[in-house]
């Protein structure tokens, strides 16, 4: 509906900002700064159970096979690499889904060689994947939940072969295989910031998928449980890394016309900082593109109260007003075409015969009254 001029030259500059550096304006340069590389595929749908895959079956282990759904890039992780992935899992013979990290919107961390016993098969499958790759894994029950199964969470029957749809976001090749839970607060924030900077570097080289993976891995270090434990300067430090990554995603999602996802990314930032101008502006842009003009206007007006002199926000509000006016005129013309102009009033033709009889009756009545009066 509206031209997305704010993002046209995003490739010339990429965000590297802290919370103290963030400007409460949304001029053209500001919007372009964070137009980074959120270019991974749509979240897979599982409406019909496990995906049907026709690609060649690759044997990774006696009990683990892999079929590629989407190719990855680069090399494969080595032992003790910390991998970040999304997956959903089914019991193979019943297609009963028992886990879904996409639905939870929270990537899983897996240190290869240090998996839980029930995730050994998944770990073998992930070790045979490249960054950005999505695959269907067949895992025998011996490398899954075993002979006993699981009757808590997740609920998996005994001796159940498993199917995993897995996407490897990326991995850290830390030789010691240090998991996030074993890191100090400073180490996790530093690791996330390093990922953000690497994403910026990839983006400048136009390696968009690699950049996106770095941003998402940075966010994975800043998970909900971790953020819940932080306060004061540590929380500010974490948000200074986490929020720009979400804003980068939203900017690129708008360019990809994936407006619902852009709205979700902006809403995450606004849940932490309800007056974040960039999040309000980008959410407004996404809503406007979806035709949600009332919601878009609300976001733009709130942003304008924070930075009343900002010309970019004023321009978007003006575009909304022009759009509403154009819609009104179009509807007016449409309804006019449907119902047509109102009929003109036509003068009624008088029936002179009726008029004559009315006059004659009236005359007869008057004569009758006069004769009666004389008789009295």
What is d(CA 281, CA 289) in angstroms, rounded to the nearest whole number?
12
Which residues are paired to 99 by β-bridges?
A: 89
Residues 222, 270, single domain; the answer is yes
Residues 80, 111, single domain; the answer is yes
Q: What is the mean pLDDT of residues 114-138?
A: 94
**pLDDT for 331:** 75
Omega prior to 154 cis, within 30 of 0: yes
The three-point CA angle 342-346-347 to 5° equals 155
CATH number of the domain bearing residue 253: 1.25.40.10
**Using CA atoms in the order 306, 310, 312, 316, what is the torsion angle rounded to 10 degrees?**
50
Q: Where are the beta strands (DSSP E) in 101-142?
A: 108-111, 134-139
**pLDDT for 225:** 77
Q: What is the mean pLDDT of residues 303-314?
A: 93
Does the structure show a pLDDT above 80 at 347?
A: no
Residues 135, 21, single domain; the answer is no
**Looking at the domain assignment, is residue 157 inside a domain?**
yes
Return the exposure string of 192-221: e unless at least 16 CB atoms fall within 10 Å of the residue's CB, then b.
bbbbbebbbebbeeebbbbbbbbbbbbbbb
CA separation, residue 274 to residues 9, 62, 79, 303, 338 (Å):
27, 52, 42, 10, 45
- CB–CB of 88/165 below 8 Å? yes
Q: What is the DSSP string of 308-336?
A: TT-HHHHHHHHHHHHHHHHHHHHHHHHHH
Alpha-helical (H) ranges within the chain are 28-33, 101-104, 120-127, 185-204, 208-221, 224-228, 233-255, 259-272, 277-289, 293-306, 311-339, 352-375
Top pLDDT among 358 and 5 is at 358
**Looking at the domain assignment, is residue 53 inside a domain?**
no
Residues 187, 291, single domain; the answer is yes
If pLDDT is split at 50, 70 and 90, which confidence band does 217 have? confident
Percent of the chain with pLDDT over 70: 78
pLDDT by residue (tens digit) across 167-197? 999 888 765 456 777 888 898 898 888 888 8
Return the exposure string of 235-273: e unless at least 16 CB atoms fall within 10 Å of the residue's CB, then b.
bebbbbbbbbbbbbbbbbbbbeebbebbbbbbebbbeee
**Looking at the domain assignment, is residue 342 inside a domain?**
no
- CB–CB of 72/49 below 8 Å? no
**Looking at the domain assignment, is residue 359 inside a domain?**
no
Q: What is the mean pLDDT of residues 296-322?
A: 93
**Looking at the domain assignment, is residue 278 inside a domain?**
yes
**Global pTM?**
0.62
Does the structure show a pLDDT above 90 at 199?
A: no
Domain that holds residue 99: 58-172
Residues 189, 253, single domain; the answer is yes
Number of domains in the chain: 2
């Amino acid at each position: 509906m509206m031209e997305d001029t704010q993002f046209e030259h995003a490739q010339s500059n990429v965000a590297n900002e802290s919370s103290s550096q963030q400007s409460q304006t949304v001029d053209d340069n500001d919007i372009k700064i964070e137009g980074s590389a959120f270019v991974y595929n749509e979240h897979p749908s599982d409406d019909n159970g496990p995906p049907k895959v026709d690609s060649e079956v690759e044997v990774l282990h006696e009990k683990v096979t892999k079929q590629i759904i989407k190719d990855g890039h680069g090399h494969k992780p080595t032992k003790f690499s910390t991998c970040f992935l999304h997956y959903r899992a089914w019991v193979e013979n019943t297609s009963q889904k028992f886990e879904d990290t996409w639905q939870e919107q929270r990537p899983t961390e897996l240190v290869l060689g240090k998996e839980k016993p029930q995730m050994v098969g998944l770990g073998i499958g992930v070790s045979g994947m490249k960054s950005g790759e999505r695959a269907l894994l067949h895992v025998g029950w011996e490398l899954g939940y075993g002979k006993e199964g699981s009757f808590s969470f997740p609920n998996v029957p005994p001796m159940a072969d498993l199917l995993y749809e897995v996407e490897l976001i990326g991995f850290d090749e830390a030789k010691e295989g240090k998991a996030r839970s074993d890191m100090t607060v400073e180490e996790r924030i530093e690791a996330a910031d390093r990922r953000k900077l690497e994403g910026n570097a990839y983006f400048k080289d136009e390696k968009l998928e690699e950049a996106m993976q770095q941003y998402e891995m940075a966010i994975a270090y800043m998970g909900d449980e971790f953020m819940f434990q932080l306060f004061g300067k540590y929380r500010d430090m974490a948000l200074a890394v986490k929020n720009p990554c979400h804003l980068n995603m939203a900017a690129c999602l708008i360019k990809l016309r994936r407006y619902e996802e852009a709205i979700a990314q902006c809403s995450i930032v606004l849940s932490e900082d309800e007056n974040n101008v960039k999040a309000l502006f980008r959410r407004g842009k996404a809503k406007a593109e979806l035709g949600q003009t009332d919601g878009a206007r609300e976001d733009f007006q709130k942003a304008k109260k924070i930075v009343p002199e900002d010309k970019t926000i004023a321009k978007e509000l003006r575009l909304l007003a022009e759009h509403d006016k154009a819609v009104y005129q179009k509807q007016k013309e449409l309804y006019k075409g449907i119902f047509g102009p109102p009929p003109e009033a036509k003068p009624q033709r008088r029936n002179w015969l009726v008029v004559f009889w009315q006059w004659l009756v009236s005359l007869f009545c008057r004569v009758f009254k006069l004769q009666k009066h004389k008789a009295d």
